[in-house]
């Protein structure tokens, strides 16, 4: 598998990175996980968005899904040839309210009009806590600790595995998703402090502790807020995890 970072800034897009978005590729299949502010532009620099085979959303906060409305415009209105969007509806796997939330985001004042029915260009599939086969990828979702319906993912292919925490505080589901993976893509929004609110985000220390418990191969920190020093977050993780700790950067590519 190959992981490309489309964006890795936490909570908002930063001066040097779009918000959350990740491209996973295997055997010619392309899965985009999250599509936050600015990530559609980054995706276009990597591949034609019509060559994406599926989307998966960890949750529906804007920094993880804001560019979905722009993708809707592209898939509806880009002239054909070479593509007829009505003949290739893109599978979208996300929280249960994704169809209504995305329709409202696309045209909030036109809820009774056909423009808000996005099924002409998308096929919506609600996430469940079961493994699904997306092309050559086995994808397992699990509910995590965040203020909305939110999921982490485990993606497996040909004996290799990566896990993505999504946005979450520490919870047992993370240990199951991350157990033994080759690469753990873990959010680490802030530095560690007992004053941090529960069930919201991970610190660098908590991401490192998760990686150590789960015996992962490498830890890749992401979703660090623009006002947080990434080197301090990385130092926390290094102190807790005996393996390699990396900090994600936009357009970086990692082999899994």
202-225 tens-digit pLDDT: 999 999 999 999 999 999 999 999
Who's near 171: CB < 8 A, 6+ residues apart?
A: 144, 145, 199
Mean pLDDT of 40-66: 97
- The residue that leads in pLDDT, 5 or 88, is 5
To the nearest 10 degrees (0 to 180), the angle between helices 68-77 and 39-46 is 50
Residue 80 pLDDT greater than 70, yes or no? no
Residue 1 confidence (pLDDT): 98
Phi, psi dihedrals of residue 14, rounded to the nearest 5°: -105, 180
The label of the residue with tokens 């060559």 reads 51
Kindly tell me the number of DSSP H helices and DSSP E strands found in the chain: 7, 14
Rounded Cα–Cα distance for residues 30 and 211 (Å): 26
Q: What is the pTM of this model?
A: 0.95
Residues of the chain with pLDDT > 70, as a percent, come to 93
pLDDT bracket for residue 81 (50, 70, 90)? low
The label of the residue with tokens 């899994």 reads 256
- Angle at alpha carbon of residue 228, lines to 225 and 232, rounded to 5°: 130
Tokens standing for 256? Answer: 């899994």
Mean pLDDT of 156-163: 98
The label of the residue with tokens 């990566």 reads 162
Determine the length of the chain: 256
Give whole-number Cα distances, 249 to 9, 71, 85, in Å.
Answer: 9, 23, 32
Kindly tell me the sign of the dihedral angle through the C-alpha atoms of 170, 175, 177, 182.
positive
Residue 76 confidence (pLDDT): 86
- Domains of the chain in start order, with CATH, are 2-255 (3.60.15.10)
């Amino acid at each position: 598998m190959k992981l490309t970072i489309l964006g890795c800034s936490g909570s908002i897009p930063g001066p040097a990175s779009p918000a959350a978005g990740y491209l996973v590729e295997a055997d010619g299949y392309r899965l985009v996980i999250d599509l936050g502010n600015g990530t559609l532009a980054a995706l276009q620099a990597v591949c034609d968005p019509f060559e994406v085979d599926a989307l998966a959303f960890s949750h529906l906060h804007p920094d993880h899904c804001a560019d979905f409305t722009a993708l809707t415009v592209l898939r509806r209105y880009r002239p054909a040839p070479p593509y007829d969007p009505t003949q290739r509806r893109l599978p979208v796997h996300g929280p249960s309210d994704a169809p209504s939330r995305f329709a409202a985001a696309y045209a909030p004042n036109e809820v009774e009009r056909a423009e808000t029915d996005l099924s002409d260009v998308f096929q919506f599939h609600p996430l469940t806590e079961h493994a699904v086969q997306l092309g050559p990828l086995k994808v397992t979702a699990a509910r995590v600790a965040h203020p909305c319906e939110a999921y982490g993912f485990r993606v497996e292919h040909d004996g290799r595995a990566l896990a993505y925490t999504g946005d979450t505080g520490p919870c047992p589901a993370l240990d199951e998703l991350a157990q033994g993976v080759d690469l753990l893509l873990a959010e680490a929004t802030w530095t560690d402090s007992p004053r941090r609110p529960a069930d919201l985000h991970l610190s660098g220390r908590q991401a490192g502790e998760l990686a150590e418990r789960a015996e992962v191969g490498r830890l890749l920190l992401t979703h660090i807020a623009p006002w947080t020093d990434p080197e301090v977050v990385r130092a926390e993780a290094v102190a807790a995890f005996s393996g390699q700790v990396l900090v994600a950067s936009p357009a970086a590519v990692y082999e899994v």
